[in-house]
Amino acid sequence: MPLQTPGPFAAHARGRDMIVDTTGLPAAFERSFPVWGGPAERLRFLLSWAILAPSRHNAQPWTFEIEGDEVRVYADASRALPAADPDGRELTMACGAAMVNLQLAAAHFGHATSVEVLREHRRDGLLARIRLEERRAFTPELEELFQAIPHRRTNRLPLDGREPPDGLVTQLLREARREGVWLRPVEQSQRRAIAELVAEGDHRQWDSARFRAEYAAWSRANDTTRLDGMPGYASGRSDAAAILHPLLLRFANPARAEAERDRQRALGTRALLVLSTPRDGKEEWIAAGEALQRVLLRATAAGLYASYLNQPIELPELRSRLRDVLGESGVPQIMLRLGYGLQVRPTPRRPVEEVLRRLEVRSRRPAPLARREPVVAQPRPATSVEAAVPSTVH
Ligand SMILES: Cc1cc2nc3c(=O)[nH]c(=O)nc-3n(C[C@H](O)[C@H](O)[C@H](O)COP(=O)(O)O)c2cc1C
């Protein structure tokens, strides 16, 4: 039986004003940590931070099971996006991002965690097992990331032209390397070619009626009471435009406008970054999602916003052309722009009660976890920024 403690973000269900206020809630909510409860109750509480992870179209493609001190993380195939993400790559990344939030929340409340990522493909979608330990793991660095969780947002509005602070990009590269993932700034000399790939990706995706229908299906009105999907305000749409946009997508193709806007963004953004992994597979997608979330949280802590220019990565032919342009030996997983901008409102989340499908207070079989070996990124020629990162950091 799921425990019935309300999560800090259950308020989303009650409409727009409450959605705006949710960033203020966690501090009060934190005080209800079940100090006297067992590990299962604690894990259930910590899931309130896991569910704040980003996911493509805000599909929130995760479910969880808790048994004693172990939480199992499942990919929810019923929330797959066959047009935008046919292989479930971004779906798996979103689950990786949720895992990081859970671990940071555990550290904040005084618990280390150990993680087992399942290598084989499982029909039930099981991706990983995370176990809560008695050992403490708190550090100021982790705490900074934890505090950023409820403030992180995808910001699709224009970002201003200010440079990120000195040293931040280097810090982000380090953050990614902790998960065995590379983050590489796109150099000025590569910008024009990258911008053209982004624009071509927009044309190919928006020209597809399937892609437009999927996007429309996950689009929401600004005063939505639904707990998933993208309210129009997240893309800067007025109340009327948020209602009309998904309807218009049935008849009109916004490819040209989207491509032009994204081309300019790829050219003009100060920090344009590509995250890539040594290989392409389930384990790497989880690591990429974990690295993405760490990078986003570190950037959030520094007052920056991020949004995505993923079109060339979502289309296999463009992905390999992107790799060539970047001279990348790894496999690109996500492209981000980072910068300063106006505050944006949070998007809704399904409460823990909806994503936790089983809770057993006691563990029936205390099977040891096959702990994950740290993924070690193969050496790759350093860019000028990376050269500043000490080689001992992985
Ligand atoms: C793996 C991944 C890929 C994403 N790709 C895109 C994208 O291509 N375009 C976009 O606008 N947002 C993208 N997003 C952002 C989601 O739409 C966003 O996280 C979601 O709507 C929830 O909003 P929030 O990030 O403000 O919490 C992506 C998120 C993830 C985790």
Regarding whether 283 and 221 lie in a shared domain, the answer is yes
What is the residue-wise DSSP string for 95-123? HHHHHHHHHHHHHHTT--EEEEE--S--T
Do the domain assignments include residue 59? Answer: yes
Contacts (Cβ under 8 Å, ≥6 apart) of 376: 180, 394
Q: Please report, in tens digits, the pLDDT of each residue of the chain (394 residues total).
A: 333 333 444 433 333 333 333 444 566 788 889 988 899 999 999 999 999 999 999 999 999 999 999 999 999 999 999 999 999 999 999 999 999 999 999 999 999 999 999 988 899 999 999 999 987 777 899 999 999 999 999 999 999 989 999 999 999 999 999 999 999 999 999 999 999 999 999 999 999 999 999 999 999 999 999 999 999 999 999 999 999 999 999 899 999 999 999 999 999 999 999 999 999 999 999 999 999 999 999 999 999 999 999 999 999 999 999 999 999 899 999 999 999 999 999 999 999 999 999 999 987 655 667 766 544 444 444 343 333 333 322 2
Do the domain assignments include residue 380? Answer: no
Regarding whether 340 and 353 lie in a shared domain, the answer is no
> Largest Cα–Cα distance in the chain?
58
316 contacts 86 by C-beta, under 8 angstroms: no
Regarding whether 234 and 119 lie in a shared domain, the answer is no
Secondary structure element (H or E) that encloses residue 357, with its range: strand 356-360
How close is the Cα of 305 to the center of ligand 1, in Å? 12
Count Cβ atoms below 10 Å from residue 27 Cβ, excluding itself: 11
Regarding whether 120 and 226 lie in a shared domain, the answer is no
Query: Alpha-carbon distance 79 to 59, whole Å?
Result: 6
Q: What is the CATH number of the domain that holds 147?
A: 3.40.109.30
Regarding whether 190 and 93 lie in a shared domain, the answer is no
Do the domain assignments include residue 5? Answer: no
The model carries a pTM of 0.90
Regarding whether 211 and 87 lie in a shared domain, the answer is no
Count Cβ atoms below 10 Å from residue 188 Cβ, excluding itself: 9
- Smallest Cα–Cα separation from 229: which of 10, 60, 88, 8? 60
The count of residues in the chain is 394
Do the domain assignments include residue 393? Answer: no
How close is the Cα of 54 to the center of ligand 1, in Å? 6
Which atom of ligand 1 has the smallest separation from the CA of 309? 8
> Does the C-beta of 55 come closer than 6 Å to ligand 1?
yes
Which atom of ligand 1 has the smallest separation from the CA of 156? 11
Do the domain assignments include residue 260? Answer: yes
What distances in angstroms separate CA 383 from CA 35, 163, 193, 267, one per listed residue?
47, 18, 18, 19
Give me the number of domains the chain comprises: 2
Query: Alpha-carbon distance 85 to 288, whole Å?
Result: 15
- Nearest residue CA, atom 20 of ligand 1? 58
Which atom of ligand 1 has the smallest separation from the CA of 93? 1
Do the domain assignments include residue 233? Answer: yes
Domain with 355, as residue range(s), is 10-153+346-360
Regarding whether 309 and 181 lie in a shared domain, the answer is yes
Pairing relationship of beta strands 113-117 and 126-132 according to DSSP bridges: antiparallel
Lookup: tokens for 173: 């590269």
Regarding whether 113 and 21 lie in a shared domain, the answer is yes
To test the pocket of ligand 1, the residue of 149, 295, 310, 345 to mutate (highest count of ligand atoms within 8 Å of its CB) is 310
Do the domain assignments include residue 252? Answer: yes
To test the pocket of ligand 1, the residue of 202, 308, 313 to mutate (highest count of ligand atoms within 8 Å of its CB) is 308
Query: Alpha-carbon distance 99 to 216, whole Å?
Result: 28
Regarding whether 205 and 69 lie in a shared domain, the answer is no
Count how many Cα atoms sit within 13 Å of the Cα of residue 25 in the half-sphere of its side chain: 17
How close is the Cα of 173 to the center of ligand 1, in Å? 20
Query: Alpha-carbon distance 203 to 199, whole Å?
Result: 6
> Does the C-beta of 153 come closer than 6 Å to ligand 1?
yes
- Nearest residue CA, atom 31 of ligand 1? 55
Regarding whether 115 and 39 lie in a shared domain, the answer is yes
Do the domain assignments include residue 394? Answer: no
Q: Which residue has 């199992």 as its token pair?
A: 72
Regarding whether 336 and 353 lie in a shared domain, the answer is no
Q: What is the CATH number of the domain that holds 220?
A: 3.40.109.10
> Does the C-beta of 97 come closer than 6 Å to ligand 1?
yes
- Nearest residue CA, atom 11 of ligand 1? 308
138 contacts 77 by C-beta, under 8 angstroms: no
Regarding whether 335 and 219 lie in a shared domain, the answer is yes
Which atom of ligand 1 has the smallest separation from the CA of 52? 27
